[in-house]
Amino acid sequence: MIAAPAGRYLGASAAVLALAFLLWGLAILPRSPATLALLSAGALGFAALFVFFRDPERTPRGTIVSAADGKVRAVDRDANSLRISVFMNVTDVHVNRFPLDGTVDRIDDLGKGFRPAYEEDARHNVRRHYHLTTALGSVEVIQMTGIVARRLVSYVAPGHAGRVGERLGMIALGSRVDVLFPVGRVEPLVAVGDRVRAGETPIARGLP
């Protein structure tokens, strides 16, 4: 499956690439090594985009799962929340998912700048906050931009009731997703350096 809204772009790219190969095969384009090299580079670029925009089906293995594919970069607490932060590189699936059942209360676009997403200061970057009302209380899912990743895509709007593992949105070309839980309501099940899969890997369990 291909992530929305990439399907139309990949379809158009595939059509252009197929036409170029057809013209080359009919000798309308020069049958030179340079032309073949350009066509091959185009095919490799298309394959890379196809892999980047993949959106596999996922089955949650718990009631609180990762919102993003990638590596856990932080598990920490402050006075109000427990934060689990996941860094996505360019080879990870970039579709983000609901970490637990919840209703989207509001969506806020905040921040400025495009610092490296793996740095702590990136929490001030351009970012999108999804405020969820859940059985645990208020939970935030934060999509953050980075140096290269500057496009945030939302699949939901305020009022949407999402289920754990359901698609929430995506970030183009890597970056990071933080999930903030109410302090004292969950216990983390992951540690810094762990690999996680969006909509599948349990990252926390609820406390009584």
Identify whether the C-beta of residue 81 lies closer than 8 Å to the C-beta of residue 182.
Answer: yes
- Among 92, 112, 59, CA closest to 177: 92
**CA distances (Å), 89 to each of 94, 95, 150, in order?**
9, 12, 14
Return the amino acid letter for 38: L
> What residues are annotated to the active site?
175
Assign 200 to helix, strand or coil. Answer: coil
Residue 143: closest CA among 89, 85, 58, 82? 85
* C-alpha dihedral, 62 to 67 to 68 to 74, nearest 10°: -90
**DSSP state, residue 124:** G
